[in-house]
Amino acid sequence: MHPNPKWKNHPLTLAGHVELVPTSWLYQYRGVDVTPAADLRDGSLVNLDQLWDDIQSNGLYDPLIIRVGRKNRKFRLESGNHRIQVFMKHGIPFTPATVEVQDLCGPQVENVMTDATHNFDFTDDVVAEALEIGHVKPSKVFKSLMNNIEQYE
């Protein structure tokens, strides 16, 4: 990976809403029907090998976003479905992520960030009491992450 991770200077990271979660944990919540092409910051479309090359050359700018709908009791990897695939393929053990809580989650919401149709129902792993609108660290929402995150400096 890039020696100077740009995501560490992201406003959500600086606000304390991002942490490193196991890539394998996040990978299970990806959208398997996402388009094959990924978009770069400049809007260009690339394949996954080109995405990996770009991350290695330019760094990772944004943390991945797990969206949680507190009213419809759904969650999903909203932003980062392509990045999680390349991180898994290249053995990156931890991925910077944040949770975005809103009332609804899913492909039908107005501010959808992916064309994938995946959605997951709440399980006992979700701490429903922690769901206030806005961003929060993933370990505040998912019990399985509470003792399974990596600290970064």
What's this model's pTM, rounded to 2 decimal places? Answer: 0.93
Q: So what's the pLDDT on residue 3?
A: 57
Q: How confident is the model at residue 2 (pLDDT cuts 50, 70, 90)?
A: low
Q: How confident is the model at residue 80 (pLDDT cuts 50, 70, 90)?
A: very high
Is pLDDT of 1 > 60? no
Name the residue among 134, 102, 133, 96 with its Cα closest to residue 18: 96
- pLDDT tens digits, one per residue of 25-74: 999 999 999 999 999 989 899 999 999 999 999 999 999 999 999 999 99
Q: What is the mean predicted confidence (pLDDT) over 80-107?
A: 97
Higher local confidence (pLDDT), 91 or 4: 91
Name the residue among 93, 81, 118, 111 with its Cα closest to residue 23: 93
- Kindly report the backbone phi and psi dihedral angles of residue 128, in degrees, each rounded to the nearest multiple of 5, phi listed first: -60, -30
Q: What H or E segment, with its residue span, contains residue 51?
A: helix 48-58
Name the residue among 150, 149, 29, 144 with its Cα closest to residue 81: 29
Rounded Cα distance between 10 and 46, Å, is: 23
